[in-house]
Amino acid sequence: MIIKNRRVFLKVAVAGFVAFFLFIWNKLTLRHIETSGAEEALVPLNKNKEVQFFDKYIIVNADNKTTVFSSNCSHLGCKIDKMANGKLVCPCHGSEYDLQGQVIKGPAYKNLTVVNSTISEDGKSIIVKG
Ligand code: FES
């Protein structure tokens, strides 16, 4: 009985630790700013990485420009959070996009949504609007 309770305790403790870690990670990597009803986010920019995945955004540094895409797949909205063979791949039904956000394999038929953004004055962050 004690062993079973200890296992339950450890599972709850590990789950709590993971939830706390994810909460802190989100706070450290994506700072939200509320400005007159329009939501903005300050996202860290690393120009040395071709692609950076965040909760709501994908930042792509390609062809000497930085583009911010919504991380929602244009098919049914799953979060795109990985690359394979130089393509952005949706984990749900396998749609693939190039680094310009254009569909190269369905079932999605619309391109990724480009999110309005500007680079901060110090060049270390992107201010994402929307
Ligand atoms: S939601 Fe992405 S392919 Fe279906």
Co-location of 18 and 44 in the same domain? no
Between the CA of 79 and the centroid of ligand 1 the distance, in Å, is 9
Q: Which atom of ligand 1 is nearest to the CA of 93?
A: 3
Query: Per residue of the chain (130 residues), what is the pLDDT tens digit?
Result: 555 788 888 888 888 888 887 777 666 555 554 444 456 777 777 777 889 898 888 989 888 888 889 999 999 999 999 999 999 999 999 999 999 999 999 898 999 999 888 888 887 888 877 6
Task: Give the Cα separation of 39 and 41 in Å (integer).
Answer: 7
Q: Which of 74, 76, 87 to mutate to test the pocket of ligand 1 (most atoms within 8 A of CB)?
A: 76
Task: Kindly give the pairing relationship between strand 103-105 and strand 116-119.
Answer: unpaired
Cα angle vertex 102, ends 53, 32, to 5°? 35
Q: Are 25 and 42 within one domain?
A: no
The secondary structure of residue 81, as a DSSP letter, is -
CA 106 to ligand 1 center in whole angstroms: 8
Q: Which atom of ligand 1 is nearest to the CA of 91?
A: 2
Residues 26 and 85 in one domain: no
What's the confidence (pLDDT) of residue 34?
A: 42
Structure pTM? 0.66
* Statement to judge: residues 22 and 55 lie in one domain: no
Residues 9 and 54 in one domain: no
Give the model's pLDDT for residue 36: 44
Rounded CA separation 11/9 (Å): 5
pLDDT value at residue 35: 44
Q: Quick one: 78 and 123 in the same domain?
A: yes
88 lines ligand 1 (CB under 6 A): no
Determine the structural domain holding residue 67 and report its residue range.
35-129
C-alpha 65 – ligand 1 centre gap (Å) = 26
90 Cα nearest atom in ligand 1: 2
If asked whether residues 22 and 82 sit together in one domain, one would say no
Supply the pLDDT for residue 123: 77
